[in-house]
A and B are shown apart, each in its own frame.
Chain A
């Protein structure tokens, strides 16, 4: 039962342009959503999060949008930089319960 889905295994974007990574979830009880970034041979690192009471959260070049009615969230990176090339995981949880991760999207930023 895949409660959190990232349907795009990979995404390629030109440097300076906007990167948009998408995530869908099925459990309407999730109330907190996170994005993690993972470089090869390293563990995931926290990037940005959003509570279900909000529909947008911004941190520098990174913005997360939440559409509760569609059970969809997205991560926008603008402008994209070569150092943003990594695997991005969407994750969700209900209260203090465990995080449920999506499959990940490999983002490649081309010079």
Chain B
């Protein structure tokens, strides 16, 4: 069974630039999550999708972050414009349903300079 795929693995951008991350969840998984993990901290949920609908985006900085999951499969997370404090690993995860075990991708390490 293929795991959660994320790209790119690494990205370096200057502040005020924009960046986008892509996630392909495990086939058949209805729930998709985007987490932000800052160095030395645990992952923090940014947004959770159930199929193509948003379940929880309470911790998403909506003035600069956006995410979509068109057709309920792949998802993209965008940051525009980026700030230095956005430097982190962005993890995508998926699960069969809400409350079931979540499987994580390898993450995208973003460095904002």
Chain A residue, CB-CB nearest to B109: A41
- Quick check: A45 and B104 within 8 Å, CB to CB? yes
The listed residue (B42, B93, B102) touching A103 by CB distance below 8 A is B42
Q: A98-B48, A98-B56 are in contact. Are A46 and B43 (CB under 8 A)?
A: no
Q: A42-B106, A43-B93, A44-B104 are in contact. Are A101 and B98 (CB under 8 A)?
A: no
- Quick check: A43 and B48 within 8 Å, CB to CB? no
The listed residue (A32, A95, A101) touching B43 by CB distance below 8 A is A101
Across-interface contacts of B40 in A (CB, < 8 A): 9, 103-104
The listed residue (A9, A32, A44, A95) touching B91 by CB distance below 8 A is A44
Determine which residue in A4, A91, A98, A101 has the highest number of CB atoms from chain B within 10 A of its CB, and name it.
A98
Across-interface contacts of A98 in B (CB, < 8 A): 33, 45, 48, 56
Cα A89 to Cα B17 in complex, Å, equals 32
Cα A4 to Cα B107 in complex, Å, equals 22
Cα A49 to Cα B43 in complex, Å, equals 17
User: SS class of chain A's interface: helix, strand, loop or mixed?
Assistant: loop
Across-interface contacts of A104 in B (CB, < 8 A): 40-42
A20 at interface by CB-CB < 8 Å:
no
**A92 CB to closest chain B CB, in angstroms?**
11
A86 at interface by CB-CB < 8 Å:
no
B35-86 CB contacts (< 8 Å) to partner A: 40-45, 48, 56
Closest 10 interchain pairs by CB?
A43-B104, A101-B42, A96-B99, A96-B98, A98-B45, A101-B43, A44-B104, A103-B42, A43-B105, A102-B42
Interface flags for A33-48 (1: CB within 8 Å of B; 0: not) read: 0000000011111100
Chain A residue, CB-CB nearest to B100: A96
Chain B residue, CB-CB nearest to A98: B45
B1 at interface by CB-CB < 8 Å:
no
Across-interface contacts of A45 in B (CB, < 8 A): 104
The listed residue (B33, B41, B99) touching A95 by CB distance below 8 A is B99
- Quick check: B106 and A99 within 8 Å, CB to CB? no
